[in-house]
Structure 1
Amino acid sequence: MNNTINYYNQNAENFIANTQNADMHPTQERFLRLIDKNASILDFGCGSGRDTKYFLEKGYQVTAIDGSAELCRLASEFTGIEVKD
């Protein structure tokens, strides 16, 4: 597993550049239809923070976690919340 974490730590900016702006709205909306409006969301393996930010903007409480410290740092900047590793 350390190889995987090391990969994402070393390639975090490239990963974010390729994933953060992907249009996931249909999938995100389908997910939101399945949960209560006041539900809390755990975004485990949040990567760039793309989904976390979307759910926060929709008014949900989100806890975001990722195994890569570098992705956590960058996702925290992007989402405005602490992303935990």
Structure 2
Amino acid sequence: MDDSTRDYYEQEAQRFFDATVNIDPTPILTPLAEALLPGARILDIGCGSGRDLLWLKERGFYPHGLEPSPALAALAETHSGCPVTVGELTTTDFLDRPWDGILVSGVLVHLPHGTVPGHLLRLAGALADGGRLYVSVKEGKGEGTDADDRSFYYWQDDDFRQVAQGAGLSVLSMSRSASARGNADIWLGYLLKAEGGTS
């Protein structure tokens, strides 16, 4: 994540929280929830408002949030009642331990395409036996910036599947959906497992 994108989430933490906290994550999170047993430990990387943490907690899971913005991390922890650690995918040591589930929703969109294979490889290695990974990316080509000066990197389905396979991940299911925030974005969501893991 570049500095301007990181600065946005810190400086506009309350605005981002207000815009996202009340969006129902059920369509996004149900595939992951249905693939895990009650009591599963889930790492939510880039947990934002804490909306998904709360949803998962209310369904009997034990989620832990990871959020680069200290301001957003504080809001997420208060909202969800779950532990939230300040940190990010690219540097965290949380992936040095096994997780039953890992949620990476709307995070890889901020990372250059060339770095994603390495991150997926590390995420695959952090899945416990039978663990599941959920990843969402924006559909499109190339890269760009939005009105808030955030950088975005877009994906085509075939390209993402190829990168995931190269990282030792199998696609269990995939969804394509319009943004719940009412803009023109299309999101691709993938439920993945480490190849060779239990089905």
Relative to the length of structure 2, the TM-score reads: 0.41
Letter in 2 for 1:81: C
Deviation at 1:23, TM superposition (A): 1.5
- 1:27-73 residue CA offsets vs partner (Å, 9 max, x unmatched): 22222111222311000000000000111111111111110111001
For residue 3 of structure 1, what is the aligned residue in structure 2? Answer: 4
Q: Does 2:30 correspond to 1:29?
A: yes
Q: CA RMSD in A?
A: 1.2
Q: Which SS does the other structure have where 1:21 is aligned?
A: coil
Counterpart CA distance in 2 for 1:59 and 1:37 is 5
Deviation at 1:82, TM superposition (A): 2.8
Counterpart CA distance in 2 for 1:61 and 1:11 is 28
Deviation at 1:83, TM superposition (A): 1.0
Q: Which structure 1 residue ranges, 4+ long, deviate > 3 Å from structure 2?
A: none
Letter in 2 for 1:6: D
Counterpart CA distance in 2 for 1:80 and 1:37 is 18
Q: Which SS does the other structure have where 2:28 is aligned?
A: helix
Larger RCO, structures 1/2 (Cα 8 Å, 6+ apart): 1
Between structure 1 and structure 2, the one with the greater Rg is 2
Q: Which SS does the other structure have where 2:84 is aligned?
A: coil
Counterpart CA distance in 2 for 1:13 and 1:63 is 21
Which structure shows the higher strand fraction? 2
After TM superposition, the structure 1 = structure 2 runs for residues 5-84 of structure 1, keeping only pairs within 5 Å, are 5-84=6-85
Residues matched between the structures, number: 85
Q: Which SS does the other structure have where 2:43 is aligned?
A: strand
Counterpart CA distance in 1 for 2:60 and 2:16 is 26
Letter in 1 for 2:40: A
Deviates more, 1:27-36 or 1:15-24: 27-36
Deviation at 1:81, TM superposition (A): 2.5
Unaligned runs of 5+ in 2: 87-199
Which structure shows the higher helix fraction? 1
Letter in 2 for 1:29: T
Deviation at 1:17, TM superposition (A): 1.0
